[in-house]
Amino acid sequence: MEEKRNRPSEDNTHVTASPVSNFIRFIIDNDLASGKHCKIITRFPPEPNGYLHIGHAKSFCLNFGLALDHQGICHLRFDDTNPEAEDMEYVDSIMADVKWLGFDWQNKLFYASNYFDQLYEYAEYLITTGKAYVCDQSPEEVREYLGTLTRPGINSPYRDRSCEENLDLFRRMKAGEFEEGTKSLRARIDMASPNLNMRDPVLYRIKKSSHHRTGDKWVIYPMYDYTHCISDALEGITHSICTLEFEDHRPLYDWILDQLPVPCHPRQIEFARLNLSYTVMSKRKLLELVQGKYVSGWDDPRMPTLAGMRRRGYTPEAIREFSDRIGVAKANSIVDYKLLQFCLREDLNKKARRAMAVLDPLKITIENYPQDLIEELEAENNPEDPQAGTRKLLFSREIYIEKEDFMEHPPKGWFRLSPDNEVRLKHAYYIKLKEIVRDEQGNIQSLVCTYDPDSKGGWTNDARKVKGTLHWVSCNHAIPIEVRLYEQLFTAYDPMETEEGKDYKDYLNPESLMVKPICYAEPSLLLAKPQEKFQFLRLGYFIVDSDSTRDHKVFNRIVTLKDSWNKTQKKS
């Protein structure tokens, strides 16, 4: 049995979780047992060109989790080698996301730009050892000469320049003498290699763009494949864990490190990235959604970004549990979104305070209830947590219930309010219908009911069986709230598997957001603060949105109460 892992929780305390064994853990355990390493050092290396999403969460839960499990260290390193796409906004958001999920890089915060001087010196070293050359081909020509999987590449006509000429040209590139796209530094490997990544890949390109950290110091920037492996080596990373699309890049990772006098040679290990149903996980496509105003921003609650999920009401514990449950594999697959929702419900059920709100109000007047009487009824805040205490509910002669909880001509098996059905009001009394009040067109406007004074608390001493229990709010005491009902952003299980002639945006769900501007909630919610979570009885879990003001509360639906995933698992 494996050791138990201490993980930070949302309130910065520690909870205990059992890590699931996987092939990466097996490799690390063997490396420690054999003495190859005495301490594990991993890293999470995001590019600051967008907000992190749930797929990144799997990666840094893995990297930080493995370090925690083995009393090691995990670095946070920004791969900031593309100044045109990067911004400090993204850097700040990434750090906030990592902290929100409960992980701490301590003093191990790094940037690839920290190593620009060292990377340049290593590039000169490759030139002087005949392993790199300056190429005058345009990017289009480089692609044309690259070849295909069935056809070898063609050597660049500039491949055989002397070391002296290459060194002079590279230094002039650094000095800004040449325009973008006119020259690049390429590794001299093998244009006939079956691996396209080994066909003289570009190591440096000219980009006359200001960098968010180094300003205008550089006009040449290193490529990711060149930068990443050297950064790992300079930081003493033992296990460089990345997603499966980098498996074909591993020979280049190893080749670069083998040519240079670096302090160590980390081992790259690949695992399958997270693909989640009904969403897209490409930062480029998520950026398209933001820039095209298909969503309100990176933190739109429909987005799979961690900022969006945090605003939607997802908890760090639920995401970490989801990451543990899906495990680590070598084969790509799509994980059902319902599993993530299941993990969220499991966590919220234990934590969320209960409250009552009515989203589609239908007024009831309880005819035989005293007109001036206002009762205080006691209700538990969370039946799953006795320590959560109780709250007071105000009950009066006029209340709101949900419109869908009344049916004049119900089908068989209907247990809610109808002309023939008596129902229980949660924490209050039994009521039954006396009269339907209609407008001139015959539409139902309100109901008149009677109540049983001896049923306080929802129970009687006789043998009456009342199967339906409704939530409610007092008309004179309820506060108006705005409610936003969110659904999945896409209608297709895999939006990337598009039909011919269609784009992934053609599968955007037109009903992914429904706004209900006039709803009513129990008065205790007037004090609710942004990010506070509740279970609205019978409706689902909700969170106070950041758009809320003191006098106007906005609630986002986090997730419904229904759990079809768990039922499916039990059947299978």
**Burial bucket for residue 566 (CB in 10 Å: 0-12, 13-18, 19+):** middle
Largest CA distance in the chain: 101
| One domain for residues 284 and 322 | yes
- Supply the pLDDT for residue 19: 56
185 part of a folded domain: yes
Looking at the domain assignment, is residue 532 inside a domain?
no
Confirm whether 283 is a catalytic residue.
yes
The pLDDT, as a whole number, for residue 20 is 64
The DSSP output letter for 455 is G
Q: Residues 108, 207, 213, 273: which is the catalytic one?
A: 273
Does 144 reside within a domain? yes
Domain termination residue (choose one: 168, 201, 223): 223
Could you tell me if residue 551 is inside a domain? no
Q: Are residues 342 and 386 in the same domain?
A: no
374 and 385 belong to one structural domain? yes
Tell me, yes or no, whether 234 and 328 share the same domain: yes
CA distance 345 to 135: 56
Would the pTM of this model clear 0.85, i.e. be above it? yes
**CA count, 13 A, side-chain hemisphere, 512:** 19
CATH, residue 158: 3.90.800.10
Please give the Cα distance from 417 to 469 (Å, whole number): 9
Phi, psi values for residue 98, rounded to 5°:
-65, -45
On whether both 449 and 325 belong to a single domain, the answer is: no
CA dihedral 477, 479, 484, 485 (to 10 degrees): -10
End-to-end CA, the chain: 27
Distances 169 to 145, 155, 158, 183 between C-alpha atoms, Å: 22, 19, 12, 9
The residue out of 204, 223, 242 marking a domain boundary is 223
What is the per-residue pLDDT for 565? 45
Contact of 516 with 542, CB cutoff 8 Å: no
From 25, 43, 250, 283, active-site residue: 283
Residues 336 and 266 both lie in one domain:
yes
Q: In terms of domains, do 99 and 169 share one? A: no
Q: Annotated catalytic residue: which of 5, 10, 47, 247?
A: 47
The answer to whether residues 278 and 489 touch, using CB atoms and an 8 Å cutoff, is yes
378 and 279 both lie in a single domain = no
| Domain edge (last residue) among 163, 193, 223 | 223
550: in domain: no
Q: Are residues 249 and 301 in the same domain?
A: yes
Domain contains 9: yes
Same domain? For 232 and 92 the reply is yes
Within-domain flag for 100: yes
167 in the same domain as 72? no
Q: What is the pLDDT of residues 541-571, one digit of tens each?
A: 999 999 999 989 999 999 999 865 455 555 5
Q: Which range marks the domain in which residue 409 is found?
A: 357-478
Q: Output the domain CATH number for residue 433.
A: 2.40.240.10
At 150 the pLDDT is 95
3-state helix, strand, coil in the chain (%, to 5): 30, 25, 45
CATH number at residue 45: 3.40.50.620
Neighbours of 350 (CB within 10 A): 12
Q: Which regions in the chain score pLDDT beneath 70?
A: 1-20, 563-572
The phi, psi pair for 112, rounded to 5°, reads: -60, -30
